[in-house]
A and B are shown apart, each in its own frame.
Chain A
Amino acid sequence: MFQRRSRGQKYTFWLRDGFRDGESEERIKSYHRPHRRSSMQKSEYTCDHRPRVYKVFENVAQKYDIMNDAMSLGIHRVWKDALLHVMHPQPGAQLLDVAGGTGDIAFRFLEYIRLQEERQKRRAARSSQTPSWQDISNNYSTEDESRESRAVVCDINKEMLKVGKQKADSLGVSAGLSWVVGDAEELPFDDDQFDIYTIAFGIRNVTHIDQALQEALRVLKPGGRFMCLEFSKVNNPILSSIYDAYSFQMIPVIGEVIAGDWKSYQYLVESIRKFPNQEEFKGMIEDAGFYCVKYYNLTGGVVALHSGFKL
């Protein structure tokens, strides 16, 4: 079971290319429901959304990426690229991508780091055009970074992680990538582990957002950065009415046609409307203990990128 051990004890990283099916099965068994939606248990009004959210993403996992492209008309790629650009990670960085499901952020992170490393190598090569034999042999021995950059993808839903792993296999990416089953409100990691914590379009599905923020603070190293991409409030009234009309009219229809699931996508649109706006969310991040919190509006406020530091 993913139980937090005391702070003193060193936590073994669940670093595998798969997950330990025994333990994760147990954890997930409590959320796993048979496929017929009707057999879900009754939830309270101010409920724990986890069973419902789990069901939604279990239903949509296979078509998740196609649906993202269809619903956002491909713009979600721009948003995720913007996240990486603002993040500007350097080689050696340790990333934790929570609710990372199909791995979009992790793949972009590894690609960015790889390009950074190439750029650094090119710069180093340019500055030493005619290296001596001593320099060349030194270069060979220092090729391994003392700290390899690593991306850990954590998600509460096994189906989403499965799809992510398939994507990784088909892209041929495996080095420095791990897939872990875990709950954002109770992360299975020790304190002060990561340089960067990201959560892209996942935090609105968390029942207790403040707990998730506290967990983020806990697992980040001092100096670490918290970054969150999430749907937010559009202030421009024209854009807002277009956005509302599109969300309520089109998105459930697209969900029905592509994924055969109207209700999950109606839930998605409603959960977006219930999420706090940019300023409120900034306040929540500050309350959790992050400093220098700021946000960037993307696409007129449809998406907001919040960033804060643990100091």
Chain B
Amino acid sequence: MWLRIQRLNQQRFVLTAKAVCVHQLHTSSTEPASSSYNGLYPGHIHTTPIQKALLAVGSGVAALRDPYRHDMVAVLGEATGHFALINLRDRMRNDPEGYTILTERPRIRLSTIDVAKMASLPEGSFGREYVRFLEDNHVTPDSRADVKFVDDEELAYVMLRYREVHDLMHTLLGMPTNMLGEVAVKWFEAAQTGLPMCAFGAALGPLRLNARRLQTLVTSLGPWALRNGLRARFVLNIFYERRWEQSLEDLRQELNIEPPPVILSAAKKMST
């Protein structure tokens, strides 16, 4: 009887494998935005709790060894962030502007934002500073990894929004994308969102800093980031796409964020 159960299990595996393979054959050939995909949203991959745990451990190790592997940081966030994402979604729902974001689902990609128009905005405006940030640091909003391992469609959007808003955080806080700037932003985000991935990044990121930068972090940048993270208005509740013309100082005041204590320059970025 035990053998029969084993065989049934094997058949189940084979059938599931075949069924998934059929799905894969059909879905691998379609655009990610199309309606026929295997999962709750385009790019979704079903994972068991064991797989999520393994992913968390593996991606954590990989991200530590090579901090420039953004996809591993993303996977770590998705595998560990379930409860934090629920909390974030509820906070968005309870705020009118956040609720608008959840219903309208804006995306920040080169195809949805008009970079030329933003570059022509007056100096000191949020849109202009954002474009300056993109140019100085040689980054593009299109390089964010897709969400794959979150098992709820709305939570996946919250994760995606967090990821896309990350660059705007850099602009608001005036931090470049070098290691020190990233760690400072991570401290801010950890205090704001409570995502475990931010907490890990905040705790383990400083290990990769040299002594001088570590000192800057510990004495001025770090406490500033933490303080502002705790007292600022919730950053995911801001509809940034409607605020490009707003002045950066004005936005900072509205969000209760102090300007940075140290001006960091966008130093030569390591080529990835």
A110 to B26, CA, bound (A): 43
- CB of B148 within 8 A of CB of A262, answer yes
- Within 8 Å by CB of A273, from B17, B71, B72, lies B17
Which of chain A's residues 230-263 have a Cβ closer than 8 Å to chain B? 237, 240-241, 244, 248-250, 252-254, 256-258, 260, 262-263
- CB of A256 within 8 A of CB of B75, answer yes
Q: What residues on B are CB-neighbors of A266 within 8 Å?
A: 20, 24
- Within 8 Å by CB of B13, from A41, A43, A244, lies A244
- CB of B72 within 8 A of CB of A241, answer no
Q: Is A7 an interface residue when CB atoms closer than 8 A count as contact?
A: no
- CB of A249 within 8 A of CB of B48, answer yes
Q: What residues on A are CB-neighbors of B31 within 8 Å?
A: 38-39
A241 to B3, CA, bound (A): 11
CB-nearest residue of chain A to B16? A248
- Within 8 Å by CB of B58, from A41, A42, A52, A257, lies A257
A237 to B6, CA, bound (A): 6
Smallest CB–CB gap between A232 and chain B, Å?
A: 14
Q: Is B215 an interface residue when CB atoms closer than 8 A count as contact?
A: no
Q: What residues on A are CB-neighbors of B62 within 8 Å?
A: 257-258
CB-nearest residue of chain B to A55? B28
Q: Is A73 an interface residue when CB atoms closer than 8 A count as contact?
A: no
Smallest CB–CB gap between B272 and chain A, Å?
A: 13
- CB of A40 within 8 A of CB of B54, answer no
Q: Is B267 an interface residue when CB atoms closer than 8 A count as contact?
A: no
- Within 8 Å by CB of A43, from B3, B6, B29, lies B29
Known: A237-B6, A257-B59. A263 touches B14 (CB 8 A): no
CB-nearest residue of chain A to B22? A45
Known: A38-B30, A38-B32, A257-B62. A237 touches B50 (CB 8 A): no
A56 to B59, CA, bound (A): 21
Q: Is B10 an interface residue when CB atoms closer than 8 A count as contact?
A: yes
- CB of B3 within 8 A of CB of A254, answer no
- CB of B25 within 8 A of CB of A241, answer no
Smallest CB–CB gap between A49 and chain B, Å?
A: 9
Q: Is B18 an interface residue when CB atoms closer than 8 A count as contact?
A: yes
Which of chain B's residues 17-46 have a Cβ closer than 8 Å to chain A? 17-18, 20-22, 24-26, 28-32, 45
Smallest CB–CB gap between B175 and chain A, Å?
A: 26
Q: What residues on A are CB-neighbors of B265 within 8 Å?
A: none
- CB of A45 within 8 A of CB of B51, answer no
A263 to B28, CA, bound (A): 9
What's the interface size class on B, roughly? 35 or more
Known: A257-B72, A273-B14. A241 touches B6 (CB 8 A): yes
- CB of B51 within 8 A of CB of A274, answer no
Smallest CB–CB gap between B54 and chain A, Å?
A: 4
Q: What residues on A are CB-neighbors of B21 within 8 Å?
A: 267, 270, 274
- CB of B58 within 8 A of CB of A253, answer yes
Q: Is B55 an interface residue when CB atoms closer than 8 A count as contact?
A: yes
Interface centre among A38, A248, A249, A267 (most CB of B within 10 A): A38
Chain A residues touching B, majority SS: helix
- CB of B17 within 8 A of CB of A270, answer yes
CB-nearest residue of chain B to A46? B25
A273 to B12, CA, bound (A): 12
- CB of A249 within 8 A of CB of B20, answer no
Known: A38-B30, A244-B10. A254 touches B58 (CB 8 A): yes
Which of chain A's residues 30-69 have a Cβ closer than 8 Å to chain B? 37-43, 45, 47, 52
CB-nearest residue of chain A to B42? A38
- CB of A262 within 8 A of CB of B58, answer no
CB-nearest residue of chain B to A271? B21
Smallest CB–CB gap between B5 and chain A, Å?
A: 9
Q: What residues on B are CB-neighbors of A244 within 8 Å?
A: 9-10, 13
Which of chain B's residues 161-206 have a Cβ closer than 8 Å to chain A? none
- CB of A40 within 8 A of CB of B13, answer no
Smallest CB–CB gap between B17 and chain A, Å?
A: 5
- CB of B9 within 8 A of CB of A241, answer yes
CB-nearest residue of chain A to B148? A262
A45 to B28, CA, bound (A): 12
CB-nearest residue of chain B to A49? B25
CB-nearest residue of chain A to B43? A38
Smallest CB–CB gap between B236 and chain A, Å?
A: 26
A248 to B16, CA, bound (A): 11
Additional A-B contact list (4), CB under 8 Å, known A38-B31, A258-B62: A43-B29, A237-B3, A262-B45, A274-B18
Chain B interface (Cβ < 8 Å from any Cβ of A): 2-3, 6, 9-10, 13-14, 17-18, 20-22, 24-26, 28-32, 45, 48, 50-51, 54-55, 58-59, 61-62, 69, 71-72, 75, 148
Sort A-B residue pairs by CB-CB distance and give the 7 closest, nearest first: A257-B58, A42-B29, A237-B6, A253-B54, A270-B17, A270-B21, A273-B17
